[in-house]
Amino acid sequence: MKSLRYLGLLFILLSAMEKYGQAGVLSDKTKNLFGLFGNKPPSTDKPPSSSDEPCYCSCGVRNGESRIVGGQTTSVNEFPWIARLSYLNKFYCGGTLINDRYVLTAAHCVKGFMWFMIKVTFGEHDRCTEKGPETRYVVRIMTGDFSFLNFNNDIALLRLNERVPLGDTIRPICLPLMLNNEYVGTNAIVSGWGTLQENGKPSCLLQEVEVPVMSLQACRNTSYSPRMISDNMLCAGYREGKKDSCQGDSGGPLIAEREDKKYELIGIVSWGDGCARKNKPGVYTRVTRYMDWILKNSRDGCFCEHN
């Protein structure tokens, strides 16, 4: 079941590889897809050193007025932390900027892929235009103990080749302040360029939808079996379906508004059985479970104040 949303990503990548394989760039799409060409960056035991540069920015500031989201196109640059991942110049996943050097995404979006062929784009609203927003390339991928068998630990850090200039149109999300917050009942927002309906085509314009966070127990009482939902996961959606993330939204942010009106990243789009199906909510990686790992491996980036 949980493979259904991933199959959309697989189809996009295989299409891109078939196109570029004819030009001799990739001749074996299966081997390249699953990283059998030794596509991992050189390993190092040296952790990133802390950034000494001051960061004069504020995280989690949404552009424009807050509004109730029922599944619609966002305002331009409404969510300045959103990132679009491309592989062989083909859009396939989302991500979230957490400081001027690092992006959080889902492990299933990057594990086994050739890291040097992943492009990350910021400050974008319409991905189908010819405009050239800010673009960076991945120089290192960090994942934990992730498996495609159960999608547990579906989280990855991407280190960019250059720092991203921060301003009104490109700004990091805040990371969670309260690690014991379960967010149950919170109306969270998920955004991305994914398909507008199951098995549809990815959207050109950035979309947003509001979904309520469920308790783990409630999620384990849905059509998903209890063993499918680990403590590292977070479920959000309506029992009747109708509103959900979908194919192409993988790796993107699930955010919640804090009391100070800033937004923090609480989830990463991970998996689901189809899209917006009854009694089958979207499943996200629970960010609070990985805060030590995130901060340890991204500390050479410059975090905004009050992150």
Residue 24 has what pLDDT? 27
Domain boundaries, given as residue ranges, for the chain: 80-172+291-297, 186-288
SS (H, E, C) 232-297: CEEEECCCCCCCCCCCCCCCCEEEEECCCCCEEEEEEEEECCCCCECCECEEEEEHHHHHHHHHHH
For the segment 87-114, what is each residue's pLDDT rounded down to a tens digit? 998 999 999 999 999 999 999 999 999 9
Cβ density class 244-276: b for 16+ within 10 Å, e for less: bbbbbbbbbbbbbbbeeebbbbbbbbbbbbebb
Q: Over the chain, what is the mean pLDDT?
A: 83
- Sheet containing strand 187-192, edge to edge, reads 72-73, 207-212, 187-192, 253-257, 263-271, 282-286, 233-236
User: How far is CA 228 from its chain centroid?
Assistant: 20
Q: What mean pLDDT comes out for the span 179-183?
A: 96
Residue 5 has what pLDDT? 53
Which DSSP category does 4 fall into? H
Is 80-172+291-297 a domain of CATH 3.20.20.70?
no
Residue 157 has what pLDDT? 98
Does position 40 have pLDDT exceeding 70, yes or no?
Answer: no
Does position 10 have pLDDT exceeding 70, yes or no?
Answer: no
Scan for tokens 């100070």, then name that residue.
260
For the segment 260-297, what is each residue's pLDDT rounded down to a tens digit? 999 999 999 999 988 888 899 999 999 999 999 999 99
**Token pair of 255, please?**
């955010």
Highest mean pLDDT among 50-64, 115-129, 130-144: 115-129
Q: Is 159 helix (H, G, I), strand (E, B) or coil?
A: strand
Compute the half-sphere exposure of residue 139: CA atoms within 13 Å on the CB side of its CA: 8
For the segment 197-228, what is each residue's pLDDT rounded down to a tens digit? 887 888 999 999 999 999 999 999 999 999 99
How far apart (Å, rounded) are the C-alpha atoms in residues 210 and 95? 18
Residues classed as catalytic: 108, 154, 250
Does position 122 have pLDDT exceeding 90, yes or no?
Answer: yes
Rg (CA), the chain: 18
Residue 50 has what pLDDT? 58
How far apart (Å, rounded) are the C-alpha atoms in residues 222 and 274? 14
The domain 186-288 is placed in CATH, from the list 2.40.10.10, 2.40.50.140, 3.40.720.10, 3.90.180.10, at 2.40.10.10
Does position 51 have pLDDT exceeding 60, yes or no?
Answer: no
Q: What mean pLDDT comes out for the span 43-60?
A: 63
Which DSSP category does 149 fall into? T
Tell me the pairing of strands 90-97 and 134-143.
unpaired
Residue 16 has what pLDDT? 41
